[in-house]
Amino acid sequence: MTSTALLPENATDRELITARHLINGEWLGEAGTKRMNPARPGELAALSPSGTAADVDAAITAASAAQPGWATMPAPSRGAILITAGNLLIERQTAIAEDLVREEGKTLAEAKGEVKRASDVLRFFGSLGWAATGEVLPSGLPDTTITTRRESLGVVGLITPWNFPIAIPAWKTAPALISGNAVVIKPAELTPLSATHLARALQDAGLPAGVFNVVHGKGRVVGDALARDPRIAGLSFTGSTNVGLGLQEILNARRARVQLEMGGKNGVLVLDDADARKAAKVVAAGAFGLTGQACTATSRVYVTPGIRSAFLDALTEEAAAYTPGDGMDTDGPDAVRMGAVVSSQQHAQNTAAVRSAVERGATLLSGSAILDETHDGDADRPLFFPAAVLTELPFDDAAVTEEIFGPVVAVLEVADYEAGLAAINDSRYGLTAGICTDSLARATDFAARAQAGVVKVNRPTAGLDLNVPFGGVKDSSTNTFREQGKSALDFFTWGKTVYTGV
């Protein structure tokens, strides 16, 4: 495939600006949907098609035809393709990251880190092509050997969000492919280029036509068609809790496998024995890094009385350093640390959450510009949103209990460790949780009792190594299959036990 096939007539000097469906190895679809740069009003970031149920049907048909041949290819050969694709992402890292910044808004440094993460994921799972996947077990019968095997599901559907537009597609795609499945993916509408870069790397690495297919479009059309098609043996989804639970009903009705990673309202407990400044840095990185647009972002903090004042002073100072701006501004000591909000809708949601909290009596320690009507996001303004710190809130306030998905953190006082742990666990969500303390005993107890899939001690709630399991509990996840690490293979395979007599 040549890149010129993806360029519009009025192409800029960028290599890629138009995304298309990838179906059976062919780039298809008229790209009529515009995606504008959230940091630069009026600048076109990408063009993409809006898929239909017929496009989904064609993609699943192609995947169904290609999957048996892919599954019978030796696993090391499948792995070699993934490793090559990962290497290609690194070779193209700067161009991909710049496109990611333009369509999603995060800083260039964050975008480059995400591209590297996608590359590392492909190479990690590619290396598992050489790993053993079954066991040899003893039998109670004479002259009998028992072995276990892992078999591919067949064709799987993937629905991915805009906030990590190349990393999440990669960490769902890689375990699916190394396990011998064929894939149909619906990327987020807001970030079509990032998924296109992943598809190009896989195609250029030699992935057979039809094994990986991309259909762009609206979730209620493309996502719904994926979920309802009986040829989709499993669906992995990352996104909002409401949408995820709706998909689960559809998949459960036909007994297909479903994996959901959904919302989070991640809490951190800061104890008196912690270093206030270090704790503030941990919380700020989790709350304001990535513009707060991560399901693992820190959004509520509980502090004990002895450290409250010093911690709030330090956190307010840290928040001031996260001045929002164009993610491409990377030069000098004043390089932007926090990029744009992804969309005007998200900007309005952030603004409404903070303003309504203040109207209910909250104190806004950082981000006062939010209260100025002239800072509303609209088509003529960059979608910048300042880091916001809210205090003096009741524990059941919406700003404390409901996911905002922006750089907004609420800080509340608790009497002691037990009260703080109870507050952390008093949530419908259970994705990540953190504690800042110098007490090993408290840290150990917190790790055991916190109701979250991931626990961080003196570390930001956001961020995870690729070789470890990831997932939540409660309304954050189906809590059945984990993503990332070797555990990710479990969702995309099923087990078989084989008895062999001599």
Here the tokens at position 45 are: 């970031």
3-state secondary structure of 341: coil
Q: Report the distance separating Cα 475 and Cα 103, nearest Å.
A: 29
- Write down the number of H helices and E strands in the chain: 15, 21
- Tell me which residue of 455, 477, 354, 463 sits closest to 406, measured CA to CA: 354
- Tell me which residue of 428, 384, 423 sits closest to 407, measured CA to CA: 384
Active site amino acids? 295
Here the tokens at position 418 are: 């037990």
Q: Report the distance separating Cα 106 and Cα 340, nearest Å.
A: 6
Q: Report the distance separating Cα 214 and Cα 60, nearest Å.
A: 10
Q: Report the distance separating Cα 317 and Cα 70, nearest Å.
A: 54
Here the tokens at position 255 are: 């007994």
Q: For tokens 């894939």, name the residue.
A: 183
- Tell me which residue of 466, 429, 51 sits closest to 265, measured CA to CA: 429
Q: For tokens 């479009």, name the residue.
A: 217
Q: Report the distance separating Cα 487 and Cα 480, nearest Å.
A: 11
Number of C-beta neighbours around residue 220 at 10 A: 10
Cβ atoms of residues 196 and 14 within 8 Å = no
Q: How far apart are the first and last CA of the chain?
A: 51
Cβ atoms of residues 331 and 321 within 8 Å = no
